Amino acid sequence: MKKVYGSAAEALDGLLTDGMLIAAGGFGLCGIPELLIDAIVESGVKDLTVASNNCGVDGFGLGKLLDTKQITKMMSSYVGENKEFMRQYLGGELELEFNPQGTLAERMRAGGCGIPGFYTKTGVGTVIAEGKEVKTFNGEDYILEEGIFADLSIVKAWKADETGNLVFRKTARNFNPPAAMCGKVCVVEVEEIVPTGSLDPDLIHLPGVYVHRIIQGEHEKRIEQRTTRKKEEA
């Protein structure tokens, strides 16, 4: 099975449809699939629901899809750093489903494991629990959360071999593995594709069984908020 494609547009060819659910890896701007996002912008697909920890920043990452109004619903944990997100949400143009970060990650992982739902204490007694089933275990309440089964996963990894085994770079791993797991089709962008068999099996973070298409490319790796310290006087 051929998994390596020449560009993001080629890798997404035939996969994008209006109204689909996309799971996207990344945390802030760390480990985001920026090349695949750009290709989705160019495709013009619309009415998207996107499950991702956040929605990029103004003018970069998933924020580009907000600028073009291709997203109609976000399933997220954090929505700061993005004025357009706030404007669309407060203006009633964008639907938002808030998730605690651990719950969102587990919903993705559960979907990838074929688990339709699970119980968690996180959110009990808050607005997160509204409308959800509550069950008592050992005298304590838990709420039912549903697994996420996405139509498409887009993720960013550091290295891949030609069969799709992935290695992530430090904190850029973040939401990428669970996001990759929960999609019917998973498309990955990487910095380097190496020959099959050259990755240490004990160091593979996500096995290739979850990965369907791979591209290699150059990445901007923008810093979300640059904080510097003044040079001390000698």
Residue-level pLDDT at 194: 98
- Do β-strands 140-146 and 117-120 pair in parallel, antiparallel, or remain unpaired? antiparallel
The three-state secondary structure class of 22 is: strand
Residue-level pLDDT at 166: 98
In the predicted model, is pLDDT for residue 199 greater than 70?
yes
Q: How confident is the model at residue 99 (pLDDT cuts 50, 70, 90)?
A: very high
Helix %, strand %, coil % of the chain (to 5): 25, 30, 45
With contact defined as beta carbons under 8 Å apart, do 187 and 152 qualify? yes
Residue-level pLDDT at 79: 85
With contact defined as beta carbons under 8 Å apart, do 27 and 61 qualify? no
Q: How confident is the model at residue 231 (pLDDT cuts 50, 70, 90)?
A: confident
CATH top-level class for 8-115+148-216? alpha beta
Residue 137 φ/ψ, nearest 5 degrees: -125, 125
With contact defined as beta carbons under 8 Å apart, do 135 and 144 qualify? yes
Residue-level pLDDT at 228: 87
Region of poorest pLDDT, from 70-74, 182-186, 228-232: 228-232
- CA dist 124 and 117 (Å) reads 16
With contact defined as beta carbons under 8 Å apart, do 85 and 62 qualify? no
- CA dist 63 and 217 (Å) reads 20
Which contacts qualify for 86-92: CB closer than 8 Å, 24 or more apart? none
pLDDT, tens digit, 9 for 90 and up, residues 144-180 = 999 999 999 999 999 999 999 999 999 999 999 999 9
Domain boundaries, the chain: 8-115+148-216
Q: How confident is the model at residue 234 (pLDDT cuts 50, 70, 90)?
A: low
